[in-house]
Amino acid sequence: MNRVVLPLSLQEALSTLTADPDATVLAGGTDLMVEINRGMRRPTSVLALAKVPELRRWEITPNRIHIGAGVTYTEIMTTEIAQAAPALAQAARTVGSPPIRNAGTLGGNLGTASPAGDTLPVLATLNATILLQSANGQRQLQLDEFMVGVKRTCLEPGELIIATELDRTNGGQEYLKIGPRNAMVISMAGVALVADLDTRSVRCAMGSVDAGIPRALKAEAWAAERIDWDNGAAIDPAVAQEFGQRVSTECSPIDDHRSTAAYRRHAIGVLAARALNRVCSPKRNGHV
C-alpha cells in the first residue's frame, strides 16, 4: 500500500479523492477490513474519513432528518435520532455487536450496498435521499437509484457519500430482522414498515430477499385502504395476516447457504404481518 490520507475537512477529503480517484474510502472499516483480510481487496491507497467533521454531524428539522455518512450505529441508537427515526434505531440495534456498532457507519452500510444491510429497508420506507458529493458538485438520489445491484452502487470515481436525509413521520415505525442466531448476525430476511398517519399511507421494504431493497408497493396500497385511519390506525388482524402474504409475493428470494428461498418468503410474510400489527392498533372483529 502506498499511502493513507486522514483529511480533516470535507474539502480536503474531496480534493484528495479528485487527485487519487482510485483511493479506497475507509469509514469504520467493519466491512472493508474484513474484505482486506480475506484478500478480496488490495487497496493501493486509503482515504480515511474518521476525522472529517462534516460527515460526523446530524441535524433534525421538523420534517426531515439529516445524518452525516460518518454517523455510527451507536450514535443512531443513543441520540435524538432514535426518537426521530425509531425504525432506524431499531435497525442499528440489530447490527453486529457493540464494537461493530461503535465503529460502523450509515455511510458504510450504503457504500457496501448489500441487500442484507440492515438500515437500507428503513431508508427505503423513510423516503431517503442519498447525498453524494465530488469536486464537481452534489447529487441527490433515491435509494433505488443509488443501489443498482448486489453490492453495486452508482458512486462515481471521486465521489463520496456525505449524508442521508430521511422523513420524520407521524405514526408507528418498525424494523424486524431474522438471522440464524439471536444477535450479531447477517439478516436472512428483514422488514421495515412505516404507517404514515399524515399521508394515510403504509410503506414497507424488505432486506435479504432480492438483489436490491424492494418495496411492497401493491400490498402497501392494499393495506392503506383497509386501515381505519380515523380510529388510531386500527386494523383487523386478519387483514394484517393477508398483508403479510401479499408482501411476501413482492420479493424474489434465493436459496443460499444461509437459508432457502421458501423460508425467506415465508418469514417475510410473518414479519410484515407482525410489523403491521405493531404499528396499528387492533380492530375489534366485525367493526369495519
Partner 1 sequence: MSRQATITHTNTANRGIGADVTRPDGIPKVQGSFAFSSDLWADDFLWGHTLRSPHASARIVSIDIGPALATTGVHAVLTAEDVPGQLNFGLEHGDQPVLAANQVRYVGEPVALVAADHPDIARRAAEAIVVYYEVTEPLTDSEAAPQAAPIHPDGNVIRQLNIRHGNINATGEVTVEGTYEVGMQDQAFMGPESGMALPDEDGGVELFVSTQWLHVDRSQIAACLGIAEAQVRITLAGVGGAFGAREDLSLQLHLCLLALYTQKPIKMVYSRDESFLGHVHRHPAKMWYRHHATRQGRLVKVEARIVLDGGAYASSSGAVIANAACFAVGPYKVGSAHIEGLAVRTNNPPCGAMRGFGAVQTCFAHESQMDKLAVALEMDPIELRLLNALAPGDRLITGQQITGTFPVAEVIRQCAEAPTPELAPTQDHRNLPGGSGRTTEATDTARGEGFAVGFKNLMFSEGFDDFSSAACRLADGVATITCACAEVGQGFVTLAQQIARTELGIDEVILAPAQTATIGSAGSTSASRQTWMSGGAVQAACNKVRSLILADISAKWGVHLDGLVLRDGLICTLDGQQQASLAELTANRAYEADVVYRHAPTEALDENGQGNAHVSFACAAHKVIADVDPDLGLVRIRHITTAQDVGRILNPTQAVGQIEGGTAQGVGLALMEEIVLDNGLVRNASFTDYVIPTTLDMPDVTIAAFIEEPEPGAPYGAKGIGEPPTISSSAAVAAAVRAATGLDLPRIPIRPADIALS
Ligand X SMILES: Cc1cc2nc3c(=O)[nH]c(=O)nc-3n(C[C@H](O)[C@H](O)[C@H](O)COP(=O)(O)OP(=O)(O)OC[C@H]3O[C@@H](n4cnc5c(N)ncnc54)[C@H](O)[C@@H]3O)c2cc1C
Q: Could you list the residues that contact partner 1 (CB under 8 A)?
A: 34, 37-39, 42, 90, 93-94, 97, 174-188, 190, 256-260, 262-263, 266-267, 270-271, 274
Distances (CA, A) of 140 to 59, 71, 146, 164: 17, 19, 9, 9
What is the three-class DSSP state of 117?
A: coil
* Contact status: 237 vs ligand X (CB under 6 A): no
The single residue among 7, 117, 171, 214 that binds ligand X, judged by CB under 6 A, is 117
Residue 164 touches which member of ligand X, partner 1, none, C-beta under 5-8 Å by kind: none
Residue 112: count other Cβ atoms within 10 Å of its Cβ: 19
Residue placing its CB nearer to partner 1 in the complex, 137 or 257:
257
Element (H or E) spanning 227, and its range?
Answer: none
* Rounded least distance, CB 270 to partner 1, Å: 5
> Is the Cβ of residue 85 or residue 273 nearer to ligand X in the bound state?
85
- Of 110 and 176, which has the nearer Cβ to partner 1? 176
Q: Taking Cα atoms as reference points, which of 190, 250, 241 lies closest to residue 217?
A: 250
Cell of 27: 469509514
By CB under 6 A, what part of segment 120-179 binds ligand X? 155, 160-161
Q: Which residues lie across from 67 on neighbouring strands?
A: 58, 164
Nearest 5°: the CA angle 137, 119, 262 is: 130
Of 17 and 176, the one with the shorter C-beta distance to partner 1 is: 176
User: Do you know the residue count of the chain?
Assistant: 288
Residues near ligand X (CB under 6 A): 24-32, 34, 49, 69, 94-96, 100, 103-105, 107-109, 111-112, 117-118, 155, 160-161, 184, 186
